[in-house]
């Protein structure tokens, strides 16, 4: 069961009783959008977030019927710097395991820093410049970040498409809280991230945010000023973004 707040500025907000219901509903909406766009366009370009918050939505997409993934090019929005290529903590590994290997998209475009961060940024920039982004499936961080655009490095007018950033301590601790790393010191200090203007350039955004640890960020996002102190607040200005929350992240 869900109740809906029609808009916070231009942002559409859907509140669900359970995390599972939230993830399934988001998955259904993303699948429907993909199918609808494929009746209008020859191919699609979709950016995905890699985080446990996305599990239920990704699980739905992995088993959804009627999506022609052979016409879809997929990307991800951020990656750690310096982890081994086969590290299971890499976001590329997460998305390959959860979705890409199961649905076989036309192309899988991963951020690869094996030849250095600068080379990875240049390569990914060129890939992203080859066409528009149709759909972005994203979440927000405990500090309100979008991808790895933490408050200290977030820029609503960023001139870059992808950039190298220092991760702030709240963000690094979140990776431990999410079970992705055993200790704070295990979390890399740097990452590569699509910038906020790149994410907002997507035509259709689906933002999935469950859990009590995200409650403060969700409230700041919806009720505070639109500011890089809470980067996710900028989603309130996107012309087609839906936020999916459960009662833990939204509050009673």
Q: What's the pLDDT band for 115 if we cut at 50, 70, 90?
A: confident
Encoded tokens for 237: 């200005």
What whole-number distance in Å separates Cα of residue 133 and Cα of residue 128? 8
Q: What are the helix (H) ranges across the chain?
A: 19-38, 55-63, 91-95, 101-103, 117-128, 169-177, 196-200, 215-223, 247-250
- Got the DSSP string for 142-158? TT--BTTB-TTT--TT-
Supply the Cα-derived Rg of the chain in whole angstroms. 17
Q: pTM of the entire structure?
A: 0.95
Percent of the chain with pLDDT over 90: 82
Q: Give yes or no for residue 229 having a pLDDT over 90.
A: yes
Residue 6, pLDDT > 90, answer: no
Tens digits of residue pLDDT in 9-56: 999 999 999 999 999 999 999 999 999 999 999 999 999 999 999 999
pLDDT of residue 177: 82
Can you give the pLDDT at residue 136?
98
Q: Which segments within 122-222 are labelled E, that is strand?
A: 135-138, 162-166, 190-194, 204-209
CB distance 46 to 34 below 8 Å: yes
Say if CB 2 and CB 28 are below 8 A apart: no
Tokens of 175: 């990776």
CA 8, distance to chain mean position in Å, is: 20
Residues 6+ apart with CB under 8 A from 115: none
């Amino acid at each position: 069961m869900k109740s809906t707040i029609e808009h916070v500025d231009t942002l559409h907000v859907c509140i669900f009783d359970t995390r599972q219901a939230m993830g399934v509903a988001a998955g259904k909406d993303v699948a429907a959008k993909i199918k609808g766009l494929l009746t209008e366009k020859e191919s699609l370009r979709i950016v995905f977030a890699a985080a446990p918050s996305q599990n239920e939505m990704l699980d739905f997409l992995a088993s959804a019927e009627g999506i022609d993934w052979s016409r879809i090019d997929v990307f991800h929005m951020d990656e750690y710097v310096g982890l081994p290529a086969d590290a299971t903590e890499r976001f590329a590994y997460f998305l390959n395991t959860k979705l890409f290997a199961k649905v076989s998209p036309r192309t899988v475009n991963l951020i690869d820093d094996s030849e250095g961060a600068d080379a990875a940024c240049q390569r990914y920039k060129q890939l992203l410049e080859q066409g528009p982004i149709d759909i972005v499936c994203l979440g927000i961080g405990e500090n309100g970040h979008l991808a790895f655009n933490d408050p200290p490095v977030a820029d609503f007018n960023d001139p870059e498409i992808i950039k190298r950033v220092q991760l702030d301590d709240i963000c690094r601790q979140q990776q431990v809280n999410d079970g992705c790393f055993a200790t704070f010191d295990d979390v890399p200090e740097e990452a590569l991230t699509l910038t906020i203007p790149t994410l907002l350039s997507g035509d259709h955004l689906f933002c999935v945010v469950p859990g009590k640890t995200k409650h403060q960020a969700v409230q700041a996002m919806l009720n505070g000023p639109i500011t890089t102190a809470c980067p996710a607040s900028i989603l309130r200005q996107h012309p087609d973004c839906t936020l999916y929350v459960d009662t833990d992240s939204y509050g009673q």
